[in-house]
Structure 1
Amino acid sequence: METSWTHTTVMLDEAVDALTADRPDALVGCYVDATFGRGGHTRRLLERLAPEARLIAFDKDAEAVAEAARITDARFSIRHQGFKDLGELPPRSVTGLLMDLGISSPQIDNPARGFSFRFDGPLDMRMDTTRGESVADWLATAETQQIAEVIRDYGEERFAVQIAKAIDARRQERGPISTTTELAELVAGTVKTREPGQNPATRTFQAFRIFINAELEELQQALDASLNVLQPGGRLAVIAFHSLEDRIVKQFIAAHSKEVYDRRAPFAAPKVMKLRALGRVRPSEAEVAGNPRSRSAILRVAERTEA
């Protein structure tokens, strides 16, 4: 019997409001949901947009693309691509661009996807299961130093070296790690202290997921592409869930929201800003109480200038 996993969209109205509120003239434009997931933001946007508007979604998860096929609205289309490919859209063609960087609950809760230490399943973690290598495949051959660097850099884990050495020792003694339970138990046996309420494997699982999907690199590519595809006055809204992502988004908006002077040419006109920062939003207390997975979310909003 097929199992149905539910998903609660984080900051649903806040994100859609950031793109559409008080912008009646913009509701006829082209909008992009760069991370379709299970389509919560897309469906709410379609409720808001004018009949002549268009909405394009991106997602590299085949299950998300299958879910998108259930939307019969003629204004909607989806691409089975990661959001790093935003640059394929025509320049200055997008009125509103949304990036929700969280993984969906069906991805987390389905043991076959291998994202969670809470369920026993194959150690996969690929967003797009049709290509690339799984975490298990990578761990089977990766150098111990590289494993340590990934855990340290993407998981901000202070026991990264010890965990990497334990993984290598396990490979030498009993062969590669192939399941989520094996990895979680190995990490738990290596990490002796952890923040209250946090599973010892949390940071390691995060690190491997980010690395195997090149999430931070793809985010930077998508942000860079946004400057080209957003039209003047177009809005960018990004929801991040951990400090590594949010730092990239924050620094990107900040870097393009100020005039830059060339110190070598002090009398030259400054390089004009390309974005105008519109603020930061956190989920409400009511949302966090109803959906604990939203507690770390940060929504940052910016608007493309005429530059």
Structure 2
Amino acid sequence: MGGPELATPETVRARTRWGDFRQAFLGNKLAVFGTVVMALFVLMALFAPLLAPYDPIAGQNLTEKFAGPSAAHPLGQDELGRDILSRIIYGARISLTAGLAAVAFATVVGTLVGVTAGYAGRWIDSVLMRIMDVLLAFPSILLAIVIVTVLGQGLTNALLAVGIVNVPQIARVVRSSVISVRERDYVEAERALGASNTRIVASAILPNSTAPLIVQATLTLATAILDVAALSFLGLGARAPTPEWGAMLTDAFRSGFGVFVEGQHAIVFPGIAIALSVLSVNFIGDGLRDALDPRRRR
């Protein structure tokens, strides 16, 4: 009699780390939604000259100040009669680039600090972590305002300030990961073979600390985008007529009380762009956290 066939190695699909990650990430609907939204923003930024129907800076028409959405201007016009859709499309270039640059700075510096503190330990760890604690003691946006005030106003200094205030979070995450792996058997094997500290860190410690670093850097990107927009809103970042989302908000508010009467769309649509970008990055970060941590997988 024929019984149930036993599965052979050829019929069993080999499970790989990438396959598990992909299945867990794609199983998170919010993470997929965030990825799609962020992909749209990236495409907007890359192909802004092709997608924007009008010039975001020169296309002024004061006779149509705060004109509402229409067929010619789907999102309406701002305080100078410029097309809001075109400015949002071009603003994706500046807002996303500024956020990515700030996170790149924070990731590089934070990784160096975290690896040094976690691997060296002792007094080096204490000194570096106390410096990070001092930075964490201040509200991030307040510290960023102070840094921009010292360095001078401008988008470059704003993203540098945002990068500095996010260094402690990256450093603490990397330090915790390094401490958890520095005494593992494969690290001890590298030491027994006479490998230098630099080689041990580069070949054994950092590769096994990248998962939490990727998650933290992704979540930090959402904070960076919001902080850069906040500094521009306060007049400390991008300046007019630069089509940056936070600067678009402050330009609309500076036009006077009329923005609340006839120009609500001039503040609603840039605000939606900021909110969607921040939410999408947070969703992606949560998805990466669940997919990279086996304990969180279902």
TM-score normalised by structure 1 residue count? 0.29
Relative contact order, higher structure (CA 8 A, sep 6+): 2
Query: Taking structure 2 as the reference length, what is the TM-score of the superposition?
Result: 0.30
Bigger share in helix: 2
